[in-house]
Amino acid sequence: MLTGSQAGARGVSRFAAMKAERQIKPAEAQTLGDEVTVDARPAVRRGKKAISGYFSPEISRALHMLALENDTSLQALMGEAFDDLMRKYGRHPFGER
């Protein structure tokens, strides 16, 4: 498959090359009766929902630095914060990281 930089040299658009890179391998296809379904998401994201928000560049930088300093991911920090928030409001934390 072509990478984005190789695509330009061969006359293929960068978008087309990126799309080709994301093509699903037949082993990842699931058969449901007569139907074949394909889930293009990585296995760790299947069955999960994205949660996002818009914050200042300073907050983004501070959170990324905190993750780096603690050798963890931004998602793990967010999971910890969500668990703390659930506890604050008397709810059971999920513990997802």
Token pair recorded at residue 18? 């990126």
Q: Specify the amino acid at residue 71.
A: D
Domain locations along the chain = 4-45, 49-97
Confidence of residue 48 (pLDDT cuts 50, 70, 90): confident
Average model confidence (pLDDT) across the chain: 80
pLDDT at 31: 59
Residue range 30-39: average pLDDT?
A: 64
Contact 2, 10 (CB under 8 A): yes
pLDDT at 9: 57
Q: How many CB atoms lie within 10 A of CB 75?
A: 13
* Alpha helix (H) residue ranges in 11-73: 14-21, 57-69
